Amino acid sequence: MVEIVKRKLSQQEAELLVAEIQQTPYIVGYSVREWLAADRILVAEGGDRSLMGVCFSYDFSPNWTKIAVLFVRDQFRGRGIGKRLFYRAVREIAARKKNAYTISANPIVIEMMEQLGFSLFGSLLRLPENCQSDALLFYRHSLQWLLNPYRIRELLRKTIVYRSQPPFIFGVYYSGKQSAISGQL
């Protein structure tokens, strides 16, 4: 049985996630301190409350929420847990009348974004027409996100370790697009 709950992480869970996320090319990640401070984490738990996966999101402006991390631990993959976490996160963002923003190199996540009607693009320098009005907001948020010592170190390390990594794809979901999401979630 898998239950999706919204809760804070323990120190041990945060340390476990940081260590496991460091082993994937698809997520740059967040520090233990950032995980412990986060208040919008969806956790997939087993019947014994064991951590199976997480979806971490946060508001970066009055109208925007970033889905920052979607991660399912290796031994629990292939069970639809990531899809349940991601779809619930998008549903909760839309219910709060916020827009969703995310970045991923994971083909499975990119496919879910397509299924939900996200606008996808490969670079902040080539925003789709429907995102142009939010360009400065995306630029500012990306710079703030990048200016974190943990992420700078991880970006450099992963660039060396995962030389042939697939490109990151940006995804934007405007909460007014209820038709695409209502049938999917």
Is pLDDT at 139 greater than 80 in this prediction? yes
| pLDDT score of 182 | 54
Q: Report pLDDT digits (tens) over 10-63.
A: 999 999 999 999 998 888 889 999 999 998 999 999 988 899 999 999 999 999
**Across 170-185, average pLDDT:** 70
Superfamily of domain 3-182: Gcn5-related N-acetyltransferase (GNAT) (3.40.630.30)
* pTM reported for the whole predicted model: 0.91
**Distance separating alpha carbons of residues 76 and 177, to the nearest angstrom:** 31
The residues, any chain, with a CB within 8 Å of residue 177's CB and separated by 6 or more, are: 117
Is pLDDT at 69 greater than 80 in this prediction? yes
Cβ 135 vs Cβ 67: under 8 Å: no
Is pLDDT at 185 greater than 80 in this prediction? no
Structure tokens at 15: 């340390």
* DSSP for residue 72: E
**Distance separating alpha carbons of residues 21 and 32, to the nearest angstrom:** 11
Is pLDDT at 175 greater than 50 in this prediction? yes
**Distance separating alpha carbons of residues 96 and 65, to the nearest angstrom:** 10
Q: Report pLDDT digits (tens) over 70-114.
A: 999 999 999 999 999 999 999 999 999 999 999 999 999 999 999
User: What confidence tier does 8 reach under pLDDT thresholds 50, 70, 90?
Assistant: very high
Higher pLDDT, residue 184 or 32: 32
| pLDDT score of 177 | 62
**Distance separating alpha carbons of residues 39 and 6, to the nearest angstrom:** 8
User: What confidence tier does 159 reach under pLDDT thresholds 50, 70, 90?
Assistant: confident
| pLDDT score of 179 | 44
Residue-range domain boundaries for the chain: 3-182
Cβ 85 vs Cβ 53: under 8 Å: yes
Nearest Cα to 118, choosing from 107, 130, 126, 136?
A: 130
Is pLDDT at 150 greater than 70 in this prediction? yes
83: left (phi over 0), alpha (psi -120 to 50) or beta: alpha
